[in-house]
Amino acid sequence: MPRWLAPNTDIFPTLKLRDILILLVLCVLVFWAGLGRIGLIDPDEPFYAVTAREMVESNDWLTPKIFGEPQFEKPIFYYWCVAASFKVFGISEWAGRVPSALPATLLVFLTYWFVTRVFNRRAGLLAGIVLGSGLEYAIMSRLMLTDISLALFIGGALFFYWLAVDDEKNRARWLILHFVFGGLAMLTKGPLGLIVSLLAAGAFSFVTKRPHPYRGRAAWIGIALYLAIGLPWYVIMTVKHGWGFLHHFIVHENIGRFFRAEHSAHRHFYYYFGILVGGSLPWIPALVMACSRAARGIRHDPRLVFLWSWLLTSFVFLTCAQSKLPSYFFFVFVPVAVLIGVVLDDLLQKGFRNTKERVVVLALAVLQIGLGCAAPFVKQSQPFQGPALVFAGLLAVGLVVLWFGRFAVWIGINATATAALIIGALVITRDKVDEFSSGREVAKKMVKLRQGNEPMLAGNVLVRGVHFYTRLPMVVIGTREKAFNWTQHDIPVIAGVDGVGKAIGLRAFLKQHGSAICTVRRRDWTLYWEKFRFEDDATPIEWSGDNVIVRFVDKSAK
């Protein structure tokens, strides 16, 4: 047996059962409790759910499809996970979200293990708590998104890279694991994982002048495993679908998203500063403390140099990309959590370094409370008003104990606040969240209101969710020839009253079908009313949260 495959108990630090139970309870409350209570959130969750369902029903486990046609927005790994979950547990919201909650949980424990091994056990526990209770991590780990699995594989790849650099005795073992996790990242979201790893490793080597660990037989074995895991599906798709696959996935989905903004409203250099701060709630004071302390002491600790190399190179790369979304930043919260965990460990041991640091931390704790109290005044946060106020109330209690220097209690209250926010959204405001964020309720109402075989119309945000819940053929209604902003699907489109390009107009569509039932977002309905000049051809028949259900009737013959 090769030496790097031989059992070695030295690689496992002493883990405490108490720590494991604390992290397990946190993960159950934040990621798993009521996982299927809220309907699929439009538009992304239904996209993955419909694709995975079609994979199961068609028994085609190689080519992802939506509306019966191939789509190559993402590689295959995440679809496999969701489809396998559907196969085992049945098609449901809960089953669809298991492939997000599970890697989120695994990443919390992997972070705990890594930080325990590299720093100490208390820092590991704190890093796991911070990661699992950070606002963005907590919310997105409950959604059907590829970014959670990607974060697990990028996090693992870079954790094992550091260990390969730092632990020469077990370098081969860590290097193999580094490449395995890198290959899984490649199969999850394409070249992003490779780019992030190379940037972090390159920056670390440049700053510290330490040699890279890519040498010897283990490196060649690792590269072979990386290619064996990450490459075959791409080769099969290229052979099967030719240039169409390469153009769509490589050119359109990767290069195109880097140089052109899918969401123009997010195209600001400061966008990810806001995501970093907001997504770090309730740990903003500790984040700023970590930044402040790093500015003074980073050069003396290569572990911190590595973590900051990872964080900063990822931050700069994502900022340079024109397409920006909160989920793209998800994996960056891994090094953030580790840095915060380390600084909290130091805080518990030594307290504040000086009065200035204490004042800044207390001021930022007050700011966090203000952000929670502001939620009722932000439209996007309205469904979460009650839980947000509970969140702010717990942070206020935390401020009091922080004032008196009870740091351990403050940490516990912060984590509890996030859990309370999640549970509150499931218990107190579940119906509001469902109506404002999911197409589940509006789909049920449309089926009840539908007359005979009336065509089903929906705006581009809702169409995939309504299709998932009704299983009925759908038509997209809008003002443009193309149904979607970025990736197009083979689905009929109604564009305006008289049509645009190849898309049929509403007037001609109604002449063919007589009537149709439609749902769109409230804001879209206002826009369509102004542009289409519906007059009495359209009657709003029901409101469902932020959606309106409309019946279109052909009155041209009257």
384 pLDDT tier (thresholds 50, 70, 90): confident
Give the mean model confidence (pLDDT) for residues 411-435: 90
Query: 152: pLDDT confidence band, cut at 50, 70 and 90?
Result: very high
188: left (phi over 0), alpha (psi -120 to 50) or beta: alpha
Q: What is the pLDDT of residue 29?
A: 97
Contact present, 495 and 472 (Cβ < 8 Å): no
pLDDT tens per residue, range 488-541: 677 899 988 888 888 899 889 999 999 999 999 888 887 776 666 555 456 677
Residue-level pLDDT at 264: 73
Q: Which of 48-62, 244-258, 298-312, 345-359 has the lowest mean pLDDT?
A: 244-258
pLDDT at 1: 42
Please state, in angstroms and rounded to a whole number, the distance separating the CA atoms of residues 316 and 319: 5
CB atoms within 10 A of CB 428: 15
What's the pLDDT tens digit per position in 84-130? 999 999 999 999 999 999 999 999 999 999 999 999 999 999 999 99
CB-based burial label for 344 (10 Å; 0-12, 13-18, 19+): buried
Q: Which stretch of 97-101, 171-175, 232-236, 517-521 has the lowest confidence by average pLDDT?
A: 517-521
Cα–Cα nearest to 208, from 141, 291, 307: 307
**Residue among 468, 457, 462, 455 at smallest CA distance from 66:** 468
Work out the mean pLDDT of the chain and round it to a whole number.
91
Is 318:195 a contact under the CB 8 Å cutoff?
Answer: no
How far apart CA 352 and CA 363 sit, in angstroms, is 14
Q: What is the DSSP string of 119-168?
A: T-HHHHHHHHHHHHHSHHHHHHTTS--HHHHHHHHHHHHHHHHHHHHH-G
pLDDT at position 552 is: 87
Q: Which amino acid is at 223?
A: I
Distance CA 153, CA 453 (A): 46
Number of neighbours of residue 507 by Cβ within 10 angstroms: 17
Instruction: Please provide the DSSP assignment of 485-520 as one string.
Output: SSS--S--EEETTT-BTTBBPHHHHHHHHSEEEEEE
How big is the chain by its Cα radius of gyration, in Å? 25
- Between β-strands 456-458 and 515-521, what pairing exists: parallel, antiparallel or unpaired? parallel
Longest dimension (CA), the chain: 86
Each as own residue / partner, the long-range contacts of residues 208-216 (CB below 8 Å, 24 or more positions apart, any chain) are 208/302, 208/305, 210/165, 210/302, 212/165, 213/161, 213/164, 213/165, 213/171, 213/174, 213/175, 214/175, 216/171, 216/172
Whether 11 has a pLDDT exceeding 70, the answer reads: no
Predicted pLDDT at 3: 47
Neighbours of 392 (CB within 10 A): 20
Residue ranges per domain, the chain?
21-350, 358-435, 439-553
